[in-house]
Amino acid sequence: MIIFGTDGWRAVISDEFTFENVRQVASAIADFLLTDRPNHKLIIIGYDARFLADKFAETATKILEDAGFDCMLCERDTPTPVIAWEVKDRGAAGALMFTASHNPPQYCGIKFIPHYAGPATEEITSKIEENLRKLKVESRKLKVGKVERFEPRERYFKYIERFIDVEVLKRAKLKIVVDPMYGSGRGYLDLLLQRFGCQTEEIHNYRDVLFGGQNPEPEENTLIDLKNQIKESGANLGLALDGDADRFGVVDEAGDFYSANQILALVFDYLIEDKGLGGSVVRSIATTHMLDAIAQKHNIRVHETPVGFKHIAQIMMREEVILGGEESGGFTIKGHILEKDGILADLLVAEMVAKRGKPLSAIWEDLTAKIGTFLGGRGKLKVGEEKGWKIMEGLRSKPPDEVGGMRVKETRTLDGVKIILEDGSWFLIRPSGTEPLLRIYSEARNQADLNKIENFCYNLIGGNKNDN
């Protein structure tokens, strides 16, 4: 059964992700658009660097062409945020992006991007799934559309400059190591930085459908080569992208990795203090409260959403938002697309280092001096469906009075169960939407309290932190 998850449909290539299933999904999306956007017949089609992604994209193009849509198909594998921007800029009915983002190499996926250039809502994906259930893929050819190949890079480059202080970067002449992780961000972030006056060194900057034998996810354990290259080259900064460039990774001048939570806080502070942006801030329920601490200092409203960037995008459609972010590396800002963009995130980190004239480590020290220390934890434990349900139901119906000697202040059930302690520390336990496991997120102001919270969570579930 084809089910759309938090960010599209993903499956193992040649198992469930087959050409026939791609035809069915493309036809179901066509049926949705013929009803939802009957007067808009332009579709953008992109794909990432995965095995057969280009061929899957061509297969979907044929289905959409036969349904009467004019299709613009990318010449080469292209970042997801670039495809999303093309939808917005060209006023297209939507886009099909063939990507499994940061998932393992054996996966591919289809991400449907509606006309508003952000993640599809649950209402939209439910309609597409309903179309799939009653679908018959057949040749329509009543009014065949046109197909045009195109290369969006230069148009995106011209557009993205409006968010960056290019002159500041040119004066700073930073030395930056770029790691696109063999994905579709190669030829984007590195070339932009070069044009902005930076000296760049690239690693993993060619297409490898196996992504070097690891997940194309910019985390501490997957960016070892980037960390080592920083130390060897004496660069000011290391910047990484995931497989489809919608997520970011950052390493400082000493080769130390910065979590997405840290970067979101740093850039949020920079957007307010140095770029003068106004509005609110939106974060997922699993994302750091460092954003809340910064917002409080500036009397800025904080929105908390369920996990999934589509929820962040919905709020950004309704009001002025300085930054929307999630701890898994999702990021966008005011005036940009409603989709995650790792390229822009990395560029703003480089600009911040250039503008403030300090190493990233010193900028981080300045921020923690203002808002205090926040230490975060993230893990997961495999549990059976029945056991997982019992744990979650127990937390909801009878949350603890205290955790590690700290009294419980508040319980939130927006997505999973989030327990807020009296000192502002917190933890969140939520079931995975795709695997038989529970995800655990936690945050405290010191390591001792974080250890107590994590021990409580793992003991509650019946496992060990080292089992991850």
Distance CA 457, CA 205 (A): 40
The pLDDT value given to residue 144:
77
Q: Are residues 64 and 194 in the same domain?
A: no
Compute the average pLDDT of residues 436-464: 93
Amino acid identity at 310: K
Domain-embedded: residue 3: no
- Contacts of residues 157-164 at CB distance under 8 Å and 24 or more positions apart, as own/partner, are 157/191, 157/192, 157/195, 159/85, 159/89, 160/192, 160/343, 160/344, 160/347, 163/333, 163/335, 163/336, 163/344, 163/347, 163/348, 164/196, 164/347, 164/348, 164/351
Please, are residues 146 and 320 in contact by the beta-carbon 8 Å criterion?
no
Q: Are residues 275 and 126 in the same domain?
A: no
Q: Which of 169-173, 356-360, 458-462 is predicted least confidently?
A: 458-462
The pLDDT value given to residue 136:
59
Q: Are residues 356 and 413 in the same domain?
A: no
Q: List the CATH number of the domain containing 398.
A: 3.30.310.50
The per-residue pLDDT for range 206-261, each reduced to its tens digit, is 999 999 999 999 999 999 999 999 999 999 999 999 999 999 999 999 999 999 99
The pLDDT value given to residue 430:
95
Distance CA 105, CA 208 (A): 9
Distance CA 342, CA 160 (A): 12
Domain-embedded: residue 268: yes
Domain-embedded: residue 1: no
* pTM of the predicted protein model: 0.94
- Taking alpha carbons only, the member of 190, 219, 194 closest to residue 204 is 190
Q: Residue 128 is encoded by which pair of tokens? A: 């597409």
Q: Are residues 227 and 335 in the same domain?
A: yes
Please, are residues 309 and 326 in contact by the beta-carbon 8 Å criterion?
yes
The per-residue pLDDT for range 110-150, each reduced to its tens digit, is 999 999 999 999 999 999 999 998 875 555 555 678 999 99
- Over the range 228-244, which residues count as b (16 or more CB within 10 Å of their CB) and which as e? ebbeeeebbbbbbbbbb
Q: Are residues 334 and 416 in the same domain?
A: no
Q: Are residues 122 and 35 in the same domain?
A: yes
| 357: exposed, middle or buried (Cβ count in 10 Å: 0-12, 13-18, 19+) | exposed
Q: How far from 329 is each of 11, 222, 227, 236, 303, CA to CA, in Å? A: 22, 14, 18, 21, 17
- Taking alpha carbons only, the member of 214, 217, 262 closest to residue 244 is 217
Q: Are residues 344 and 402 in the same domain?
A: no
Q: Are residues 141 and 52 in the same domain?
A: yes
The pLDDT value given to residue 58:
98
Domain-embedded: residue 428: yes
The pLDDT value given to residue 142:
55
The per-residue pLDDT for range 41-92, each reduced to its tens digit, is 999 999 999 999 999 999 999 999 999 999 999 999 999 999 999 999 999 9
Q: Are residues 437 and 346 in the same domain?
A: no
The pLDDT value given to residue 393:
95
Domain-embedded: residue 281: yes
The pLDDT value given to residue 467:
56
Domain-embedded: residue 85: yes
Helices (H) and strands (E) in the chain, counts: 15, 21
- Taking alpha carbons only, the member of 95, 99, 101, 85 closest to residue 30 is 95
The pLDDT value given to residue 167:
98
The count of domains in the chain is 3
Is 5's pLDDT higher than 90? Answer: no
The pLDDT value given to residue 170:
98
Q: How far from 272 is each of 134, 145, 366, CA to CA, in Å? A: 50, 46, 15
Count of alpha carbons within 13 Å of 376, Cβ hemisphere only?
Answer: 18
Distance CA 167, CA 172 (A): 9
Amino acid identity at 74: C
Distance CA 330, CA 80 (A): 12
How does the average pLDDT of the chain come out, rounded? 94
Please, are residues 446 and 454 in contact by the beta-carbon 8 Å criterion?
no
Stated as kind and residue range, the H or E segment containing 75 is none
Q: List the CATH number of the domain containing 316.
A: 3.40.120.10
Domain-embedded: residue 4: no
* DSSP assignments along 356-389, one per residue: HTS-HHHHHHHHHHHH---EEEEEEEE--HHHHH
The per-residue pLDDT for range 157-208, each reduced to its tens digit, is 999 999 999 999 999 999 999 999 999 999 999 999 999 999 999 999 999 9
Parallel, antiparallel, or unpaired for β 147-150 and 70-74? Answer: parallel
Q: Are residues 362 and 237 in the same domain?
A: yes
Structural domain containing residue 432: 375-467
Q: Residue 83 is encoded by which pair of tokens? A: 């495809």
Distance CA 271, CA 293 (A): 15
Domain-embedded: residue 330: yes
Q: Cite the DSSP H helix spans in 234-326.
A: 260-273, 290-297, 309-318
Count of alpha carbons within 13 Å of 210, Cβ hemisphere only?
Answer: 2
325, 352, 371: which is the final residue of a domain? 371
Q: Residue 389 is encoded by which pair of tokens? A: 């349900």
Residue 135 Cα to chain centre, angstroms: 31
Distance CA 290, CA 323 (A): 13
151, 174, 189: which is the final residue of a domain? 151
Please, are residues 339 and 350 in contact by the beta-carbon 8 Å criterion?
no
- Taking alpha carbons only, the member of 291, 45, 52, 2 closest to residue 146 is 45
Q: Are residues 363 and 461 in the same domain?
A: no
Q: When comparing pLDDT for 222 and 462, which is higher?
A: 222
The pLDDT value given to residue 1:
76
Distance CA 452, CA 3 (A): 38
326, 343, 371: which is the final residue of a domain? 371
The per-residue pLDDT for range 275-318, each reduced to its tens digit, is 999 999 999 999 999 999 999 999 999 999 999 999 999 999 99
Distance CA 460, CA 468 (A): 15
Q: Are residues 144 and 162 in the same domain?
A: no
Residue 332 Cα to chain centre, angstroms: 9
Distance CA 22, CA 97 (A): 12
